[in-house]
Amino acid sequence: AFTDAGIKYRTSTALAQSLEVVERRVNELGTTEPIVQRQGDDRILVQVPGLQDPQRLKDILGQTAKLTFQMVDQSMPVQDALNGRPPAGSSVLYSQDDPPVPYLIENRIIVSGENLVDAQATYNSQTNEPVVSFTFDSKGAARFGQATSQNVGKLFAIILD
């Protein structure tokens, strides 16, 4: 059974994560100064001044989560991007950790979840460390193979929006 404090923590964490997703999605509209804020314990208020197409906002907010594979931008320390501006073509995204960890991620999607056939959490038989093994369809495998061969030694991120 959950304690009241545990339920409150989970609700608060889920709301904070949802707030981040909603904010990212509203920013896709490209409008100036949208307001996305927490309202009470279990609501999110979204105001988009001057929005011409309210249905587009509903569509963006109603879409299901997206899984993407994207390169980590290592051209500058993430702290520099937070203090100034991220390089063109990159964004700062935060992990689900507590506290959240910022990462500088290239906006270009290498492979999307649509190309994912299977994914499983397993353990490396030699090091006994946790690993995620995944299988792509032929299109995804070709894209992923090309991206990883061109970026040997660089990090990529698996992002669930």
pLDDT tens figures, 68-102: 999 999 999 999 999 988 899 999 998 878 888 99
Strand-pair category, 67-72 with 116-123: unpaired
1-63 sits in which CATH class?
alpha beta
38 contacts 44 by C-beta, under 8 angstroms: yes
pLDDT tens figures, 12-50: 777 887 888 888 888 877 777 889 999 988 889 998 888
Overall fold of domain 64-161: Gyrase A; domain 2 (3.30.1360)
Ordered by start, the domain boundaries in the chain are 1-63, 64-161
Question: Residue 131: which H helix or E strand, with range?
Answer: strand 130-136
What letter represents residue 104's amino acid?
Answer: L
Helix axes 4-27, 54-62, angle to 10 degrees: 130
The pLDDT score that the predictor gives to residue 1 is 55
Q: Please give the residue that has the higher pLDDT: either 53 or 107.
A: 107
pTM of this structure: 0.59
